[in-house]
């Protein structure tokens, strides 16, 4: 996909574990390593999978907050992530720094009963920098380095198109 004129576009390649931002307006394309779902691609509610297809940025949370801000249910907890905090809560799924909340555009695939990306709380968000990038490890969201999510957050706004796909499947003529 290409940015249309002034509007940026985000593409997320599940096979390559990369997010590509085409900022539009003649800006340079930026690539970021990401970590998507350990359970792979999928659209079903409670699957722990990353949904495919056409989405858009529905909401953005965390503007102006410090890097490492900890969120629970899209609200800052007042905590700033540290390795010591992580040691105290080793099983916690850390949502840090910024949240870009996605909404599906395709009824029956990633929008609507049983498959709704927005109601599944699918985000692009920061994660501890100690977490691996470039390999699937999340519970369905798209995880990024904190510095990277801060940069991405500053480049987009609600309504921006997001395309999530599998490059291998696309190369074989399949569509997500």
Encode pLDDT of 20-79 as tens digits.
Answer: 999 887 789 999 999 999 999 999 999 999 999 999 999 999 999 999 999 999 999 999
**What is the residue extent of each domain of the chain?**
9-166
103 or 170, which is more confident? 103
* CA–CA gap between residue 38 and residue 141 (Å, rounded): 10
In sequence order, the β-bridge partners of residue 19 are: 12, 32
Q: How far is CA 108 from CA 60, 104, 117, 118, 150, in A?
A: 24, 10, 11, 13, 32
* CA–CA gap between residue 94 and residue 72 (Å, rounded): 9
What is residue 67's three-state secondary structure?
Answer: coil
- Pairing of the two strands 9-13 and 161-165: parallel
Encode pLDDT of 85-142 as tens digits.
Answer: 999 998 899 999 999 999 999 999 999 999 999 999 999 999 999 999 999 999 999 9
* CA–CA gap between residue 148 and residue 5 (Å, rounded): 24
Per CATH, domain 9-166 is 2.40.440.10: yes
- Full-prediction pTM beyond 0.75? yes
């Amino acid at each position: 996909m290409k940015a249309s004129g002034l509007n940026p576009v985000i593409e997320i390649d599940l096979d390559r574990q990369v997010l590509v931002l085409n900022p539009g307006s003649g800006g340079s394309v930026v690539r970021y390593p990401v970590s998507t779902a350990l359970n792979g691609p999928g659209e079903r509610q409670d699957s722990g999978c990353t949904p495919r297809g056409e989405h858009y940025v529905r909401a953005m949370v965390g503007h102006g907050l410090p890097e490492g801000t900890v969120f629970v249910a899209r609200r800052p907890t007042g905590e700033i992530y540290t390795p010591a905090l992580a040691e105290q809560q080793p099983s916690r799924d850390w949502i840090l720094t910024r949240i870009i909340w996605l909404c599906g555009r395709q009824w029956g695939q990633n929008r609507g009963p049983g498959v709704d990306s927005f109601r599944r709380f699918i985000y692009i968000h920061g994660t501890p920098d100690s977490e691996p990038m470039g390999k699937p490890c999340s519970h369905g969201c798209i995880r990024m380095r904190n510095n990277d999510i801060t940069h991405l957050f500053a480049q987009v706004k609600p309504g921006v198109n997001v395309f999530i796909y599998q490059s291998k499947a696309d190369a074989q003529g399949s569509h997500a």
